[in-house]
Structure 1
Amino acid sequence: MAVISTEERRAIQQRLMSLGSPNLALIYGDATGEDASWTLNQPPVVVVVNLIGRLSESTEMAIIVCDALVLMTPNNASNPEITTIADCLRAQSAQAAFNPVQELWIGSEPMVNRGGLRALLSEIAQGYHHGVIYVAGGPMSGRSHSFHLIRHVARNWNIPHHRVDFALEIEARTLLHLYGALQKAYDLVDDDPPTEEGATPGDVASKFAARLRDRLAAVPLVNPKPWLVIDFSEDVPDPAVPEFIRLLCADRDANQFDNCVIFVLGPTAHLESMRGDLLNLQVEDLGPVAQTEIFEAAVVLNQRGQNKLDDATLGARAAQIYDDVTQLPEDAQFPALRRALLELRREVRAP
């Protein structure tokens, strides 16, 4: 994947083409760490095309070239643009090296108000054996948005992860859908699933949970354990679904099977039915927006931006966002916060 945009590539290329062969050879050698003597016998365009092709795939090489251009010709009118390119690349490198659990921006998405989930993910990294983690919230609270953080951390730690949601037609939001998707995560096939006929939703849920528990218990342990994310909403009409989730999580909590970590992104109301049966249940209960995380997200965004705000302006902007958001009903706060932070991102031109 290219580390610089087409416009940035063009700006660097124009500057390189303006150099004489000796200076171009110096930059080529510094950036690549190779003998650049061959470049002195080549037309500059050949050397520039070669170097541009390589630095487009290397953040470190692109930063070295940008820094060298500014140092070599300190009075060039395009230095501010070249410096901005290097600063953005440094910010992206710092983001990649940063602890993924603490990331406040994942791609273009703000990730704030997740202190509890961050703490639990950090504990997993430290060796805690959490079996079930429940991220609870009401409608529009951002609980499904938590998957961005879970996936981001899993990818950075090379942890297999699977998400099952109910973004389907209402009539398809069934226990069979959930059961099939969870089996697929482990490449299991059940040619003779339990019957749903002539049984109460509780009986059906119990049969399916017991079948999946037994099959998962027979799956060999792998390290790291896969993360299974069940994104469960209030709009699931099948009454067997929440009961199945409760029973399956209770079996995992009791170590009836031990080859996964289950994350449930679900309604607060359903959480209450889980607490009694899951003695080790870990919970992130999404509450009011935290002012400190809004400010921290704004600071990180500003540091990565090309059009940075001064400290006073940025502080006032973050405070205004907090005041505006917290005056709204709770189910409107997260969407409004996301819009405000994305607008700030556009304004400062952060990557």
Structure 2
Amino acid sequence: MFIVTTAEMNTLTARLRTLGAQNLALLYLNVLGEDAAHTLTQPPLTTVLQLAGRIGFSAEAVIATCDWLVVTFPSAHENAGVVAITDRLRAQAALRSANPVDELWIGAEPMVNRTGLREILRDICDRDCDYGVIYVAGATASGRTHSKHLIRHVATKRGIRCYIADFHIETEARTLGHLYDHLKAAYRLDALDVPIHQGATPGDVAFRFAARLRARLQVAPEETPKPWVVIDFTDEVIDPAIAEFIGMLCAERLSGAFVNCVIFVLGPTAHLETLRGLPALQIEELGRLTRSEIETAAKTINQRGQHPLDPSDLDLRIDGIVSLATIMPEERQNGEIRSLLLDLRREVRAP
């Protein structure tokens, strides 16, 4: 929400009380656009209270007042507080109209190091690029699930049908049949039968399933925009046919055997190595968080907060988070930094 806090109104009122009657009259005239002659015959404090009442908690009026103060008195040290107000309110306004691709916080999860994925999503949504397959690669606990949240968030905001095919079930049930059922639902192919595969090798099983799915997708009607299918491929899958099937499915999509979807695969880096040779494959490889990524996230959170930290305090907080990230093992880094950013979000009361 576009909110002016009580603390911000108190800061602005205190700044107005430093002005004399003549300057208050000018502000009255220039910001409110009303005759200010009556303000010259009354105590300045009365004018301040009238101005505060007229401005109220309107973000637009507060920004206009603060801007006038900064332009009219550019060297006044008292302007620091009103500059902070306008910065935060403008950040809130930008947030309301922001591209969902740029969203930092989705639910309770910070999307910190998704630079590559954001650019790919921007290409698809804003530049009409026809990417067929995107692979998000990373080790265990690297944050692949956060990428899934971002993909789903963008699809929802852009009106794109998005289907998640995951393996968040008991290990024994992580089979190609389970994934196949997900894909049938994703592509709305409920009547598609399962190919005969008993006794076949994993490679043959993968080939038969991929061939059956491809044959139906080649004649399936196209949707606009193309639906997104997200395969959340875990590190612990006991069915060896799954990896081969995903590779075949991706290869056929990239070759143009069928074109009526965009496929996202979230999986371990080791599996990516088997797909690197595919033409036009888009890749985001997740790694350690950088200082720049942490700093951008922290400053964005602070700027959106109703009670933001002072710049010096924020710099100290960022230094502490970066220092911890530097020594933290990679498998723990994502979770620990997420927790610290969540603490900052709560502290400054950011939306």
Q: What TM-score results when the alignment is normalised by the length of structure 1?
A: 0.74
Q: Secondary structure at the match of 1:158?
A: coil
Structure 2 counterpart of 1:193? 194
Cα 1:301–1:182 change in 2 (3 A) is: same
- For 1:326 and 1:269, locate their aligned partners in 2 and report how far apart those are by CA, in whole Å: 25
Deviation at 1:121, TM superposition (A): 1.0
Alignment of 1:1-351 (within 5 A): 66-67=57-58, 92-124=92-124, 125-190=126-191, 192-276=193-277, 278-351=278-351
Structure 2: which amino acid aligns with 1:268?
A: T
Deviation at 1:236, TM superposition (A): 1.1
- For 2:155 and 2:193, locate their aligned partners in 1 and report how far apart those are by CA, in whole Å: 33
- For 2:193 and 2:202, locate their aligned partners in 1 and report how far apart those are by CA, in whole Å: 19
- For 1:210 and 1:322, locate their aligned partners in 2 and report how far apart those are by CA, in whole Å: 49
- For 1:89 and 1:235, locate their aligned partners in 2 and report how far apart those are by CA, in whole Å: 46
**Cα pair 2:87 2:303 within 8 Å, conserved:** no
**Cα pair 1:229 1:265 within 8 Å, conserved:** yes
Q: Secondary structure at the match of 1:195?
A: coil
- For 1:336 and 1:93, locate their aligned partners in 2 and report how far apart those are by CA, in whole Å: 30
- For 1:236 and 1:261, locate their aligned partners in 2 and report how far apart those are by CA, in whole Å: 23
Deviation at 1:305, TM superposition (A): 1.2
- For 2:295 and 2:318, locate their aligned partners in 1 and report how far apart those are by CA, in whole Å: 5
TM-align CA RMSD: 2.7
**Cα pair 1:105 1:297 within 8 Å, conserved:** no
Cα 1:172–1:221 change in 2 (3 A) is: same
Task: String of CA shifts for 1:12-53, please: whole Å, max 9, x gaps.
Answer: xxxxxxxxxxxxxxxxxxxxxxxxxxxxxxxxxxxxxxxxxx
- For 1:320 and 1:196, locate their aligned partners in 2 and report how far apart those are by CA, in whole Å: 56
**Cα pair 2:2 2:93 within 8 Å, conserved:** no
* Structure 2 residue runs without a partner (length 5+): 7-54, 63-85
**Cα pair 2:207 2:248 within 8 Å, conserved:** yes
Cα 1:65–1:210 change in 2 (3 A) is: farther
The ranges of structure 1 where at least 4 consecutive aligned residues each deviate by more than 4 angstroms after the TM superposition are 86-93
- For 1:319 and 1:98, locate their aligned partners in 2 and report how far apart those are by CA, in whole Å: 28
- For 1:293 and 1:103, locate their aligned partners in 2 and report how far apart those are by CA, in whole Å: 14
Q: Secondary structure at the match of 2:231?
A: strand
Q: Secondary structure at the match of 2:266?
A: strand
Task: String of CA shifts for 1:320-351, please: whole Å, max 9, x gaps.
Answer: 11110121111111111111111111111212
Q: What TM-score results when the alignment is normalised by the length of structure 2?
A: 0.74
**Cα pair 1:138 1:268 within 8 Å, conserved:** yes
- For 2:96 and 2:120, locate their aligned partners in 1 and report how far apart those are by CA, in whole Å: 21
- Among all aligned residue pairs of Structure 1 and Structure 2, give the percentage whose two residues are the same amino acid: 55
- For 1:151 and 1:271, locate their aligned partners in 2 and report how far apart those are by CA, in whole Å: 22
Deviation at 1:279, TM superposition (A): 1.3
Deviation at 1:170, TM superposition (A): 1.1
Task: String of CA shifts for 1:203-246, please: whole Å, max 9, x gaps.
Answer: 10110011111111111112211111000011111111111111
Count residues in correspondence.
Answer: 281
Q: Secondary structure at the match of 1:211?
A: helix
- For 1:88 and 1:312, locate their aligned partners in 2 and report how far apart those are by CA, in whole Å: 16
**Cα pair 1:174 1:236 within 8 Å, conserved:** yes
Structure 1 counterpart of 2:82? none
* Structure 1 residue runs without a partner (length 5+): 9-63, 72-85
Structure 1: which amino acid aligns with 2:103?
A: E
**Cα pair 1:305 1:350 within 8 Å, conserved:** yes
Q: Secondary structure at the match of 2:145?
A: coil
Deviation at 1:144, TM superposition (A): 1.7
**Cα pair 2:2 2:92 within 8 Å, conserved:** no
| Most deviating of 197-206 and 149-158 | 149-158
Deviation at 1:132, TM superposition (A): 0.4
Q: Secondary structure at the match of 1:315?
A: helix
Deviation at 1:192, TM superposition (A): 3.1
Q: Secondary structure at the match of 1:164?
A: strand
- For 1:199 and 1:273, locate their aligned partners in 2 and report how far apart those are by CA, in whole Å: 22
Structure 2 counterpart of 1:53? none
Cα 1:89–1:175 change in 2 (3 A) is: farther
**Cα pair 2:109 2:146 within 8 Å, conserved:** no
Q: Secondary structure at the match of 2:324?
A: helix
**Cα pair 1:136 1:283 within 8 Å, conserved:** yes
Q: Secondary structure at the match of 2:144?
A: coil
Q: Secondary structure at the match of 2:58?
A: helix
Task: String of CA shifts for 1:269-316, please: whole Å, max 9, x gaps.
Answer: 00001113x111110011121211211111111112122101111122
Deviation at 1:65, TM superposition (A): 7.3
- For 2:157 and 2:350, locate their aligned partners in 1 and report how far apart those are by CA, in whole Å: 22
